[in-house]
Structure formats: structure tokens, C-alpha cells
Amino acid sequence: MSSTANIANLKKITEAIISPQQEDKNLDELCHSLQDLFYKVSGMADAKTMETTGIKTPNGLALGTVDAAACIIDAVRTQVFLKSLKQAIEDKLRDCPEKPLNILYAGTGPFATLLTPLTTVFTSMQLQMFLIEINPQSISYLKTTINQLKIEDYVTDIIEADASDYRLPSGYAPDIIVSETMLQALRTEPQVMIFANLINQCSKKVLLIPQMIQVSAALINIDGGNEQESKTIKVLLEYDAQTALLVKQNKKGIPIFADAAEVIISEQHKQYSHVALLTNIQVYKKNWILYGQSGLTMPYLVMDLNSIKKWPAKFKATYNLGTDPGFEFSM
């Protein structure tokens, strides 16, 4: 298929995914079509071997090429991020129409999936992309994808680096920072430190996508592996731009990082089966990925309530940074 046909196909798929009339029943099919297109133009479809092992960093695990590419078929995630970025770009362009928006995309994977489709919506005079990815194999496929889709004019630079400690070039000022480098409950991957590192190098006007990630301690019932009902006990963290600034500047201003949060479960809640961490993501304004809608927001089980011997049960919850970031519970 020619580059012209690939670009036309990308435009058609993108328009369908972000359309207000998009029906959920077709969304999975569209995201698989988007993945197939990217596999084709990047050369991944013809690859004999591909990197499956993640890269350990001082601030979390960066995904291997195959796993990063697979994120596309988390359909709700792909749709909500694309819709949100489109809306955010439109909003920013209304405020400042005389120059292109600078968007920093940290953790692009092999396709920069959450941004490259929007090159069919905006011109290079409206949108400029600064792309950071740690995995050299993903970088190679990303460069081929950009070349095959003829979108070099949209790209300010492609950097092979760890976004959680990368120093931005002097004078570079992004309008939007986008990164989806997370698992549910903000565990394992370096989302927290990527945002903390980058936003502390930017002006107060920079917009983070997602805008806020909320993690709560909750009780849920699991029956045969199916979650039936849940009850939130306590919001543990709402990670947004202000919180990301404090992670670098003054962690004492964030209780879950500085001092353990207490979680109390009363005996009247013994009918639930597990303590879990629930995730809700405000991607942009009214665009949310809610608990259970995506792999990013599936419940993360912490404890079986049958193991509790004394009621009320009291736990301490902290969020640990470092090579294996995430929440830790202790009695």
C-alpha cells in the first residue's frame, strides 16, 4: 500500500475513533485496524524478532516494544486519549492561534499512538511534536512510522532517553506534556516521576495529559474472578500538575509520599471479599476513564479480607518511588 493510501486510511480510522457518533461495539475493531496499520507502516509486521523485555530505570519499568504496541487495542484508553488531546489542542490554539503548539510526548512506544493519528486532523503549522522514548528498538520503528506517513514536518525532535530524568533543551517550552506510562494504581511504570521531572522544567501554563490520576483504597467483591460491587474507603492520591511539582520540590506537602495514610475497615464490611486499589483517570476536562473501563483502571487487589483476624482492621498506605514504584500496605 502506498504512503498516500496509508495516510488516507489513518485519517479514516482516526475520524471514526474520535467521532461523537462512535458506537462502542465498533471501537475494538477500529483500534485493531489502527494497530494493523501501524504494524504495516513501521515494518513491525515483517519483523522476525521484536523486543518484549521492558527496560528497568531508576524510576520504574519502561515497556518493551511489543507491549507498548499492544496498548492500542485497549480501546477505551486509545479513544479517550485521542479525543482529549484533540480537544486540548483546539482549546490551546484558540488561546494562541499565531504559533504551532509544542507537544512533548514522553514514552511514545514504536508509533506515538496517542498523537500521530492527530496529524490527520491538524497541520504542522498547528502542531509540533517533541518525542521521547527510552527503547532503541521502539525508536527505530517510530522513525520509520513517521517517514512512511510523511509527517516529518510535524516532528521537532526524536530523543532516545529516560523521560523520568531527561533535561529539556534550553529554550524549549512545551504547551502540552502527554505521557501514558502507567499501570492501574500507578504501579511499576514511571508515570509519577516522568511528570514530576518534566513539569518542574516548564512554565506554569503547561498542560498535563492526563490531567489527574486518582487512586483510592476500596472494598470489592470477587466472585469467580468477576468484580460485582465496590465501596471506596479513602482516596489515597490525586496526581495532577500541582502534585507532580511537589514530588520534586517538597514531598512533605503530599501526605501519601511523606507520611502513611491510615485506612480503616470496620467489621460491618466483612461481606466484601478483598481490599483493592481503584483507579480513575481524568484525561482532559470532562473526558474520564473510569474504574473498570480500561486496563489502566482495573482493580488491583491488595488483600483478601478472610486473612483479617482483628476488627476493625487498620492499615497504613504509602506510595514508594524508585525502581519499583507503587503503593505499599502494612498493618
- Average pLDDT of the chain? 93
The pLDDT value recorded for residue 232 is 95
124-138, 179-193, 296-310: range with lowest mean pLDDT:
296-310
CA-to-CA separations, 145 to 70, 110, 138, 152, 286, in angstroms, rounded:
16, 8, 10, 10, 31
The pLDDT value recorded for residue 225 is 56
The pLDDT value recorded for residue 24 is 67
3 — pLDDT class (breaks 50, 70, 90)? confident
Beta strands 60-62 and 101-106, pairing class = unpaired
75-89, 145-159, 186-200, 298-312: range with lowest mean pLDDT:
298-312
15 pLDDT higher than 60:
yes
Distance separating alpha carbons of residues 261 and 254, to the nearest angstrom: 10
**The dihedral of CA 164, 169, 173, 176: what is its sign?**
negative
Q: What is the pLDDT of residues 226-246, one digit of tens each?
A: 556 889 999 999 999 999 999
Cβ pair 41, 148 in contact under 8 A: yes
Q: What's CA 144's distance to the chain center, in Å? A: 23
Distance separating alpha carbons of residues 144 and 136, to the nearest angstrom: 13
Average pLDDT for 49-59: 87
254 pLDDT higher than 60:
yes
DSSP string across 90-126: HHHHHH-TTSPEEEEEES-TTTTTTTGGGGGTS-TTT
Q: What is the pLDDT of residues 123-167, one digit of tens each?
A: 999 999 999 999 999 999 999 999 999 999 999 999 999 999 999
Choose between 208 and 270: higher pLDDT: 208
1 — pLDDT class (breaks 50, 70, 90)? low
For residue 8, the one-letter residue type is: A
- Phi then psi dihedrals of residue 117, to 5 deg: -60, -25
The pLDDT value recorded for residue 259 is 82
Residue of 168, 185, 211, 203 whose CA lies nearest to 81: 211
Average pLDDT for 42-55: 86
Average pLDDT for 320-329: 95
Report helix, strand or coil for 231.
strand
168 — pLDDT class (breaks 50, 70, 90)? very high
Q: What is the pLDDT of residues 96-116, one digit of tens each?
A: 888 999 999 999 999 999 999
